[in-house]
A and B are shown apart, each in its own frame.
Chain A
Amino acid sequence: MNNGQSSEDVLKDLTSSEYKYGFTTDVETDIIPKGLNEDVVRLISAKKQEPDWMLQFRLEAYRYWRQQPVPQWGHVKVDPIDYDNISFYAAPRKKAAAGDVDPEILKTFDKLGIPLHERDMLLGKTTGTELSAVEASSTMAVDAIVDSASQKTTYRDKLAELGIIFCSFGEAVREYPDLVRKYLGKVVPVRDNYYSALNSAVFSDGSFVYIPKGVRCPMELASYFRINSSGTGQFERTLIIADEEAYVSYLEGCTAPMRDENQLHAAVVEIYVHERAEVKYSTVQNWYPGDKFGKGGVYNLVTKRALCAGDFSKVSWTQVETGSAITWKYPSCVLKGDNSQGEFYSVAVTNNYQEADTGTKMIHIGRNTRSRIISKGISAGHSQNSYRGMVKVLPGAEGVRNYTQCDSLLLSKTCGAHTFPIMDIQNPTAIIEHEATTSKINEDQLFYCQQRGIKEEDAVSLIVGGYAKEVVQKLPMEFAVEAQKLLSLSIENSVG
């Protein structure tokens, strides 16, 4: 199937249904006692040597969160989370000299295929499934985050020459407080929802990106999130600002060890886009999904939102979601600037007892704003897969266009696919299109492949890969190849 990869490798990949990233790294970890109260919030802030305004931001969020009921509207069954049984801060203790990364952590990222050496490349390696996938050779800057702390951000200096800031959130708070203060909470307010309030109170690390006026970021920026410690959650915070006419493509990848417990991941991502600027945000989410009986796995409860503040600004979300026991996220676009554009491309795969409730919100405020939603759900095993989307057009938004397509593919008789589209159109000039399909894996297609000698298992991943291609091809090359492989792995042994 692949060029340099022998067929035995492919076979091994396809038959080992173990989660590949489930190992743990043995590093000494600074972990605070379990539980959440104001003292814990103060402790986190102190550990990160934050200024007082940051602490006040956290405390306000914490006090609000404490009064809120747990939201119940998602089509997912979240077991009550015992916040007293989670440690809200865990960071690998630095063994190496300042500026260097612990060799164990380096090994971990090496194993995960993420380069922490500059000039190394996150290549498609030998995994290209398409002949056309020429060896990608672009460089990528990486911010590597383990549990609550950023370990290393590569290419910082080179990017700084262009005025680009790419660093951990913690460093940004210390080094660029004015920028952080100006934008933090402006796209996702503290009180937006239960989990955004929780995140605002206890967030640990994440990435900060600022692209100055007129600058096109010359390389992909990537954050790689890894939960390592048990009994912890990860609460990362990402803030991306694209100033006028700036451009950046940002990638995010996530994995976690296999554990019997459910681990909580409640992130907030904010993107602020100025006039004529463009941000592409791609996610390959592969948190541990739990075992085949539904035990363990990460609860992925995430708020992601972009504000197209300026005229002619553009945001594009692409996500391939294969992991997590529960996924609850709706990367959204607030299209405030006139002629601004929002896009959402999603493939969500659920197998075994996974549950995903994901989609997007497109809020059209400005005139002639356009949005496009392509959602592909793939459900297998006993999983539940829901698309939930909202297209809202405010009264002042003249000439809005939206196109929504949501497709569901069912691979088993015991899984569920659901669609919850909401349209709230308050301006009669809007042109809104919505298409939806639900299908089973086509037996004729399967047989056609098998008749040519392709094994059933490989035929399924070929067909599913084709189904998801429209979305996967929106990913940068390096990620697209990984995503294709992940798709195959996630659905193995799933037809029935």
Chain B
Amino acid sequence: MSLLEIHNLHASAAGKEILRGIDLTINPGEVHAVMGPNGAGKSTLSAILTGNPQYEVTQGEILYKGRNLLEMKPEERAWEGIFLSFQYPVEIPGVSMVNFMRTAVNAQREYRGLPALTATEFLRLMREKRAVVQLDNKLANRSVNEGFSGGEKKRNEIFQMAILEPTLSILDETDSGLDVDALRIVSEGVNRLKSAERSSIVITHYQKLLEYVQPQFVHIVYRGRIVKSGGPELGDRIFAEGFDWVKQEFEG
């Protein structure tokens, strides 16, 4: 069974239609890259998959593990293993990363019928996963994303992903604004999670990340639709020639 099936998805935000019929199937263990010019609808797709209430589905259906995803609350989707690495991670003043992640982990464990982690167990888990993304201990004790640099915020997203070990991870331009070292660290975080059961959707503008994480499938989103799908060679062509040829092919 496929992990995710999107059929004829139409969606809008603030009354404006953004997605105009997306079809996409993702099987366990696959890594899919989603590319496209700004405003094509890439981030809207990730918002719809995670249940962001600011977006509205107007048509189509999404099956996740065979269930109607659109009927599930955002937190329920998280419990079922969907994770979004936010393009713009949100700051929550006064809430420490430790408290935030412990609440999240224990909520997910509760859903799975597991006992809550004790303070000691949780701190051990944090220490272990922090090493994966080389996140400074100081950051883990600060308020969620508050006072973090752009790069630190992105690494913090991957850190959370490493802790939550999602089945379907969606990386929304996690690579933008990262220097080469940070990009390598983030990619390693992603690669460590790869398995026969886990899948990822990687939304990106850059070649570097795709070199590191090596998706099997590349999709081009333009004007709210997937206008082209292919293998890694499709990504190579985009990086060589840009999107103009896609636009021409689509409109011509």
State A456–B123 Cα separation when bound (angstroms). 25
Contact B96 A130 (CB under 8 A): yes
Among listed B19-27, B49-57, B182-190, B214-222, interface-contacting one: B49-57
What residues of B have a CB within 8 angstroms of the CB of A6 in the complex?
A: 116
Prevailing SS type, chain B contact patch: helix
A394 on interface, CB distance cutoff 8 Å: no
Contact call A452/B95, Cβ cutoff below 8 A: no
Confirm or deny: B236 has a beta carbon within 8 angstroms of a beta carbon on chain A. Answer: no
Given contacts A7-B106, A7-B110, A467-B94, whether A450 and B78 have CB atoms under 8 Å apart is yes
Known: A131-B119, A131-B122, A462-B99. A452 touches B94 (CB 8 A): no
Residues of B near A455 (CB, < 8 A) are: 75, 107
A-side interface residues, number (CB < 8 Å)? 31
Indicate if the CB atoms of B74 and A447 lie closer than 8 Å: yes
- Judge whether A449 is part of the interface by a CB distance below 8 angstroms: yes
Contacts of B95 in A (CB 8 A): 462-463, 465-466, 469
Interface size for chain B: under 10, 10 to 19, 20 to 34, or 35 or more residues?
Answer: 35 or more
Which chain B residue lies CB-closest to A456?
A: B75
Cβ-defined contact, B96 with A467, below 8 A: no
**How many angstroms from the CA of A425 to the CA of B105 in the assembled complex?**
52
In whole angstroms, how far apart are the Cα atoms of A463 and B91 in the complex?
10
In the complex, whether B100 has a CB less than 8 A from a CB of chain A is: yes
| A451-B118 in contact (CB<8A) | no
Which positions 101-135 of chain A face chain B at CB distance < 8 Å? 129-132
B238 at the interface (CB under 8 A from A): no
- Given the known interface contacts A451-B84, A469-B94, the answer about A3 and B119 at a Cβ–Cβ threshold of 8 Å is yes
CA distance A466 to B74 in the complex (A): 22
**Complex interface: chain A residues within 8 A of B99 (CB):** 129-131, 462
CB of A188 to closest CB in B, whole Å: 34
Q: How far, in angstroms, from A6 to B114 measured CA to CA in the complex?
A: 11
The complex places the Cα of A401 from the Cα of B54 at a distance, in Å, of: 44
* Inter-chain contact A462/B75, CB cutoff 8 Å: no
A443 close to B (CB within 8 Å):
yes
| Mask: chain A, 437-475; 1 = CB below 8 Å from B; 0 = not | 000001111011111111110100011011111100000
Q: How far is the CA of A1 from the CA of B91 in the complex (A)?
A: 20
Docked pose: A462 CA to B94 CA in angstroms: 9
Tell me if B111 counts as interface (CB < 8 A to partner A).
yes
For residue B143, which residues in chain A have a CB less than 8 angstroms away from its CB? 466
Measured between beta carbons, the chain A residues less than 8 angstroms from B53 are 443, 447
4 closest A-B pairs by CB = A466-B94, A469-B94, A453-B78, A466-B95
**Which A residues lie at the B interface, using CB under 8 A?**
1, 3, 6-7, 129-132, 442-445, 447-456, 458, 462-463, 465-470
Residues of B whose CB lies within 8 Å of any CB of A are 50-54, 73-75, 77-79, 83-84, 86, 89-96, 98-108, 110-111, 116, 118-119, 122-123, 143-144, 160, 164
